[in-house]
Structure 1
Amino acid sequence: MSEIHPAQRVAVLADSQNLYHSAQSIYSRNIDYTALLDDAVDDRRLTRAIAYVIRADAEEEESFFDALVDIGFETRIKDIRTFADGSKKADWDVGISLDAVTLANHVDTIVLCTGDGDFTRLVRHLQHEGVRVEVCCFEESAADTLVEAADEFTDMSADTEQFLL
């Protein structure tokens, strides 16, 4: 895998639901997306930054979506689905994976901001294609297989003052 260098092209893909629920359950705090993006880019060339969010008609979510754009993220928004039995579902696993595979030919590194172990196979595929894959999330909620597969792992819990509001 390629080493970090200033001309390296980077894409940052943030699984906002995963990050939000981890930050809330562990620390009862919110993510500082400016710090997250700055750390993920790490003085390299940002090609794309995409935040995957869920619209659940919650108070102030539109201002959150706007704030992500102001920070430098494109937002991919999916409405939450409610089923006949009352259960709800909304995830971006397929969308994140498709975007990562599409971006693989245009970047040197993809930073996945998620702890979801479902992305382990994606990490291995991207590496096979010659892409460096970094994972940034909270170690407490990160799948071991994802952390082990990554070329580099950033534990957001190691510096909560940087990554949390």
Structure 2
Amino acid sequence: MPDDTASTGAAADGEAQTGGEDTVVQSADSRDLPVLVAPLISGDGEIVGYQSLALSVVMVETPAARTLRMLQLAIEDSFNEWIATSSDDDRREHFDDLFSLADHLESQARDRLAIDLEFDLVALQSDIFAAAETRQNLIEPKGGPAKPGPDGSTDH
């Protein structure tokens, strides 16, 4: 990174206003954010694969690189704690209730850092939804490689 601030390239519409007139909310570039792994759960409740989730985070002010790294660690810790302390049923419920998962991760990261930060819950929910929506295509096959089609080829 050329300077100590996060890039705002991920904000498609530039800057959003929240709170007072002078409070500018900027979105950190996705390359500066952690990628988390969530379980892919079949209809009968079995974990059959994993999906990466890139988190969208919105911060009230663009932090220095060190602060951004602290934020990354807090988010990663919150997610890892959620994986470690929740049952398969809890994880499935949270993964299916995407806004609840986003809100849970926000609360944990806020508590860990004790700073005023906001997740863009809509963007985070959207990221997780995109992963959930396509998860049927991302589930790792349990029975080995794909079977050949009528023409002898396999689709991967």
TM-score w.r.t. structure 2 length?
0.29
Which of the pair has the greater relative contact order for Cα pairs under 8 Å at 6+ separation? 1
More strand by share: 1
TM-score w.r.t. structure 1 length?
0.28
Report the structure number with the largest CA radius of gyration: 2
